[in-house]
Every structure is written in structure tokens, then in C-alpha cells.
């Protein structure tokens, strides 16, 4: 059967980088194997679920370019399905009704903790007779449905990333709830029913779910179904290998987007958390599909490094074409709304090597093209020695009909002024920008425009005439 994988987030806020990495690895695995990528929203935990988070997930995935082939399915639309399976388990004796109240369960839990035992369900309702059940029901007592853990509940799993893992469910938990008294399925139950019905072949998810796997294996066994292949991805940790903390930066897709990261940069960086390509690390989604392999994912934790994320992002800023870069940068260019598109594209391309994120773009444009320049006294000597270059170039510029061919103007000015190389270009650059480095002059001058260039060059000459 062809590969079928799913990304199954709970809608509890904008996607976190951990979720996105899971989504990405599933997506890459599906695309690489010509498989199907399914989106399923696990929204049965009503308290944590809200509508805006649901639409946020869809937006985040669309922004990242991770398109899905099936879904989004919502677990809340499938409650009847879980209920019918819970009933089937009841009939088959694989599960039972539990009438214990939350207070009773809490008392048992406290008692166990006091005795230094792991808290687990006592099995009090495991062997109720038909009569007892009818009596409790006629009293109007609500019940949940618990899965009955058989004596032999040992499993060996060959995890694609972590290798062979052995589990003994009895060592981990007592009989666990699969359907709550309000009719809502628990995660471990719904996830297996769905993965089974959706014919999921590979479950690729965070290592934090490893402890859920044994309970899920039991449910597969109860369904007489072959479990999927599991691949548990390493955790993403902070730079000091502790849990990620706010100190390390932003973790939600929304925050990363607002900080001016490109989707290309985010997916490229996240692909490197756990997986490493053979050579070059900077990759497009297409290149990632080509090279990605789940077998090469390391089981050790991966450290989140915001500086590297920005570095990767910058590499993508350098690679994109102008139109695309402008469309990404638009939300950060509100104050440039009335600028002609062609001008903006040229300006962005000329300064992009100074931008790590899209947020840097408006600042760099202002720095070179819009802000008034104040010439620093430390440049006086240099400007003075290049005064001739400035004067000659200014003169030529004033008389030029067309400033698209700056190279010819420079050639002419070099000839007339007798200055060349750095002694020619450097003073002109300082006069035009106020800085020693920046965009190529042949790009900068047409973007700045003839009038502004003349103004700045004249200004530098006035600066030289003024008293120190």
C-alpha cells in the first residue's frame, strides 16, 4: 500500500516549531514517497479548542507551503465513530463501564501517592455484574468507558528512528478511559481509531508521544489491526539542552512570520532539526523532498538556534526573485505603499545582502535611499582628496540625459578627473550615502535618482567648504 501519513495537531494556538517540524517531516516523507499527507485536527479536548486556532493552523500550513491531500478532518465531527467502537469493545468485553466519580478517583490517586505508589486505576468497576450496572444506570450515575488491559500486554516495536523498543503496558498504567462520561473520546483512543480508519501507514510524531505508544498498540490489537510503522522524532531543546524557553526566541509560526522570517527559511531550518543533508544545508522545499530521508533522522535532541535560523533565512532572501521577495516583504513596507513597485523591487534587491529578516528591509532602504545624510567629520580627508572626482561626476550627471548607463559616466569621469579605483569610487560613495559600504554604486545611483544624487553630491561639496 502507498504511504499515508497524517499531521494531527490540537488547535490550541498558532503552531509551535515542534509541531511544524512534525508536519514538515510527515509532508516530506509523503512527497518523497508519492504518498498522501492528511490533515486531522484533534479537537476533542473541548477546553483547549477554539475556532481561531483552527483557522490559524490552516493559515500557518498554507504559509509554509505544506499542502495537504486529505482533510482537514475534525475529530469533533467523528464522535459517533468513536462511540460505536467503544461500544463494540464493551460488547467484546475488551472494555467496561466505570461509574467511579471524579472525587472517588481523586481520593484513590491521593492515597496511592501517599503510599508512594504510582497512581493507577484500582479496577473497581472492572467486574461489575449486569445487575450492578443496571442499578447504577437507573440511579442516573454517569459512566466512562475503560479499556481493560490484558495480562499479557507486552510489545516490541521497531521505531524507524529509535530502533527496537519494548513496552509492557501493565508496568505503565492501569485500565484507562477511552470514552469520557460526556461522550468525548480520549486522545489515545481516538488517535488509533482514526489512524486505523484512515489507513495511516506511518505515524511520525514527537518523542513526547512515545509514552502513549503502548496504550495505542493495545487498541490496535483489540481492533485486530496491524499497527502502522512508528517514527518518533527527537525533541527540540534550547541551546543549553534544557527545555525550550522564551529566552531562546520565538516559537510560534505566527511570531516567526511577524519577525520577518520567510517560509522558505523556516522550513529549511526546521528540516535541519534532527535531519542533516549530505552537503549544502541551504535548500528549497523541492530540494528537501529530493534528499530527505527518515532513516537519517538522529534520535538525539536537536538544539534550537535562532542565530542559525536567521542565517538560513538570509540565504533564502539572497536567492528569491525580486517579485517574490517584494510580496513577502509587503507587510513590512506599509510606509512604502505609494512607492512604485519597480522602484521598490530594485531598492530591495540592492540592499538584500544586509537583511537577515524581512523586517530589516525597510530600515536598509531608508538608510541608503531616504534618510537625510549627515556626513561624518571622519570622512573629511577622504572626501577632500576625492573632491575632483565628485565635481567631475556631478557635472557629467547634471548633463546626462539618461542615467541608466552609470558605467559610461564613471569611465568618462575617471578619465577627466585623473582619479581611479578606490580613490575615485570611495569619495563618491561616501558623498552619496554617508557610508563607506553599501549597495553597488551602479545600482544605487539609478534607484536614488538623478535629482537626489545631484543634491547629495552638492551637499558633500558644501560640507567640504564649510568650516570645521
Active-site residue list: 246
Cα distances (Å, whole numbers) of residue 431 to 379, 400, 408, 443: 9, 19, 20, 16
Check binding of 8 to ligand GLU (CB under 6 A): yes
Cα distances (Å, whole numbers) of residue 451 to 239, 410, 445: 50, 17, 10
Check binding of 366 to ligand GLU (CB under 6 A): no
Q: Which of 21, 202, 205, 232 binds ligand GLU (CB under 6 A)?
A: 205
* Least CB distance to ligand GLU at residue 284 (A): 27
Check binding of 76 to ligand GLU (CB under 6 A): no
Q: Which residues pair with 95 in a beta bridge?
A: 147
Check binding of 157 to ligand GLU (CB under 6 A): no
Q: Between 209 and 367, whose beta carbon lies closer to ligand GLU?
A: 209
Report the site for ligand GLU in 167-196 (rule: CB under 6 A): 191
Q: Between 213 and 350, whose beta carbon lies closer to ligand GLU?
A: 213
Q: Which of 36, 37, 39, 42 binds ligand GLU (CB under 6 A)?
A: 42
Check binding of 124 to ligand GLU (CB under 6 A): no
CA 66, 206, 159, 178 torsion: positive or negative?
negative
305: left (phi over 0), alpha (psi -120 to 50) or beta: beta
Cα distances (Å, whole numbers) of residue 2 to 31, 34, 320: 11, 8, 34
Report the C-alpha gap between 20 and 40 in whole angstroms: 14
Report the C-alpha gap between 260 and 358 in whole angstroms: 4
* Least CB distance to ligand GLU at residue 373 (A): 52
* Least CB distance to ligand GLU at residue 9 (A): 5
* Least CB distance to ligand GLU at residue 191 (A): 5
- Which stretch, 5-13, 81-89, 382-390, 414-422, contacts ligand GLU (CB under 6 A)? 5-13
Q: Which of 5, 9, 38, 446 binds ligand GLU (CB under 6 A)?
A: 9
Q: Which of 209, 319, 367, 450 binds ligand GLU (CB under 6 A)?
A: 209
Whether residue 358 contacts residue 328, with contact meaning beta carbons closer than 8 Å, is answered with yes
Nearest 5°: phi and psi at 299?
A: -80, -10
Site of interaction with ligand GLU (CB under 6 A): 8-10, 42, 191, 205, 209
Amino acid at each position: 500500500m502507498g504511504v499515508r501519513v497524517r499531521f494531527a495537531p490540537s488547535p490550541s494556538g498558532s503552531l509551535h516549531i515542534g509541531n511544524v517540524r512534525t508536519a514538515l517531516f510527515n509532508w516530506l516523507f509523503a512527497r518523497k514517497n508519492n504518498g498522501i499527507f492528511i490533515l486531522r485536527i484533534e479537537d476533542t479536548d473541548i477546553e483547549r479548542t477554539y475556532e481561531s486556532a483552527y483557522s490559524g493552523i490552516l493559515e500557518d500550513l498554507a504559509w509554509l507551503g505544506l499542502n495537504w491531500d486529505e482533510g482537514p478532518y475534525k475529530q469533533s465531527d467523528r464522535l459517533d465513530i468513536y462511540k460505536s467502537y467503544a461500544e463494540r469493545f464493551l460488547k467484546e468485553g475488551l472494555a467496561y463501564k466505570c461509574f467511579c466519580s471524579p472525587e472517588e478517583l481523586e481520593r484513590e490517586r491521593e492515597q496511592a501517592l501517599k503510599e508512594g505508589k504510582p497512581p493507577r486505576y484500582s479496577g473497581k468497576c472492572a467486574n461489575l455484574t449486569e445487575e450492578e450496572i443496571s442499578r447504577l444506570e437507573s440511579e442516573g450515575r454517569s459512566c466512562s468507558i475503560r479499556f481493560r488491559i490484558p495480562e499479557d500486554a507486552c510489545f516490541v516495536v521497531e521505531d524507524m528512528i529509535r530502533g527496537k523498543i519494548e513496552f509492557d503496558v501493565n508496568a505503565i498504567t492501569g485500565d484507562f478511559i477511552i470514552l469520557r462520561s460526556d461522550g468525548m473520546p480520549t486522545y489515545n483512543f481516538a488517535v488509533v481509531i482514526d489512524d486505523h480508519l484512515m489507513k495511516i501507514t506511518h505515524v511520525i510524531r514527537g518523542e513526547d508521544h512515545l509514552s502513549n505508544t503502548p496504550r495505542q498498540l493495545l487498541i490496535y490489537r483489540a481492533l485486530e489491526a496491524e499497527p502502522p510503522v512508528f517514527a518518533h522524532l527527537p525533541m527540540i531543546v534550547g541551546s543549553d539542552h534544557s527545555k525550550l524557553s522564551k529566552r531562546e526566541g520565538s516559537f510560534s509560526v505566527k511570531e516567526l512570520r511577524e519577525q520577518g522570517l520567510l517560509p522558505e527559511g523556516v522550513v529549511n531550518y526546521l528540516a535541519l532539526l534532527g535531519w542533516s543533508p549530505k552537503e549544502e544545508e541551504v535548500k528549497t522545499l523541492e530540494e528537501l523532498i529530493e534528499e530527505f530521508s527518515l532513516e537519517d533522522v538522529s534520535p538525539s535532541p536537536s538544539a534550537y538556534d535562532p542565530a542559525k535560523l536567521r542565517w538560513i533565512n538570509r540565504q533564502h532572501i539572497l536567492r528569491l526573485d525580486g517579485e517574490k521577495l517584494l510580496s513577502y516583504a509587503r507587510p513590512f513596507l506599509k510606509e512604502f505603499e505609494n512607492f512604485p513597485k519597480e522602484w521598490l523591487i530594485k531598492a530591495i534587491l540592492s540592499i538584500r545582502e544586509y537583511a537577515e529578516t524581512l523586517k530589516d528591509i525597510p530600515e536598509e532602504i531608508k538608510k541608503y535611499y531616504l534618510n537625510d545624510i549627515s556626513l561624518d567629520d571622519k570622512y573629511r580627508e577622504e572626501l577632500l582628496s576625492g573632491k575632483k572626482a565628485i565635481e567631475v561626476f556631478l557635472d557629467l550627471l547634471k548633463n546626462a540625459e539618461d542615467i541608466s548607463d552609470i558605467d559610461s559616466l564613471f569611465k568618462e569621469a575617471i578619465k577627466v578627473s585623473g582619479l581611479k579605483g578606490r580613490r575615485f569610487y570611495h569619495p563618491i560613495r561616501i558623498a552619496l550615502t554617508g557610508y563607506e559600504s553599501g549597495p553597488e554604486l551602479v545600482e544605487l545611483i539609478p534607484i536614488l535618482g538623478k535629482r537626489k544624487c545631484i543634491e547629495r553630491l552638492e551637499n558633500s561639496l558644501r560640507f567640504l567648504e564649510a568650516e570645521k
